[in-house]
Structure 1
Amino acid sequence: MTIKKNLFLICTIAAQKQIKKLINLKKKKKIKLRIYITGGGCSGFQYGFKLDHKKNKDDIIIKNYNNLIIIDSISFQYLLGGTLDFIENLEGTKFIINNPNAKTTCGCGLSFSI
């Protein structure tokens, strides 16, 4: 487990507030937001988000103000330089990643290719 300062994945204020809100709803301070990438989606890779209390050996922990974000080492390389945001619109509420490493993205913003 490595803890990195917030130079690798920027969090908007909206994302920070939503992470804190979700953790407070669970009433478990040891829970963190896990961001991961899996194969699939319209464009080849898709983003995943879940609350997790488990830290794996190869996980990287990013500190964003008072929030900690967990990213596995494979996903981390695809997220470098990205921005985590949280939006609420007619499509619903969701975390999104603005990823400078993505060559193409799908219309909903949940999948990408490199």
Structure 2
Amino acid sequence: MTSPTTQSQETAATGILLTDVAAGKVKALLEQEGRDDLRLRVAVQPGGCSGLRYQLFFDERQLDGDVIADFDGVEVVVDRMSAPYLSGATIDFADRIDAQGFTIDNPNAQGSCACGDSFH
């Protein structure tokens, strides 16, 4: 488990925090893939009802300007264009009857659409 001090330093580096639950889920998914060269890339792209949408995917690439942080053995990559939109965001994983999947709590989002898939 990553100590709170290390998580704070890594949060400052990428601007985001990956919870322990989300890190565990990412590890499990990577184990299913059977690859150790993949990182979780978090990006903000134009689209959706509100103008911007999150993208989370596994990526082996490293792009110029990427910021990489390690959360308990899970590398999270944020590109330089997405970083300002994600500063202070927390990525978690919900596995409940009313919600399942990765969630992003972003203090920079001024609003979101009804489906919760995009923000502005």
Same fold, judged at TM 0.5 (above): yes
Relative to its length, the structure with more strand (as a share) is 1
Q: Which runs of 5+ in 1 are unaligned?
A: none
Structure 1 residue 91, shift from structure 2 partner:
6.2
Tell me the residue number matched to 2:111: 104
1:13 aligns with 2:13: no
Partner of 2:87: 80
- As a proportion of its length, which structure holds more helix? 2
CA distance in 1, matches of 2:40, 2:10: 16
How many pairs were matched up? 110
2:70 corresponds to which residue? Answer: 63
Given that 1:84 and 1:97 are in contact with CA atoms closer than 8 Å, whether structure 2 keeps it comes out as yes
Residue 29 in 1 paired to residue 24 in 2?
A: no
* Aligned residues: CA RMSD: 1.7
Counterpart of 1:43, as a letter, is S
For the residues of structure 2 that align with 1:91 and 1:39, how far apart are their CA atoms? Answer: 27
Distance between the aligned counterparts of 1:68 and 1:98, measured in 2?
Answer: 19
Can you give the 5+ residue segments of structure 2 that lack an aligned partner in the other structure? 1-8
What is the percentage of aligned positions where both structures have the same residue? 31
- The alignment's TM-score, normalised by the length of structure 2, stands at 0.82
Per-residue deviation at 1:107?
2.9
What's the CA shift string for 1:55-78, capped at 9, x where partnerless? 111211122121111111001110
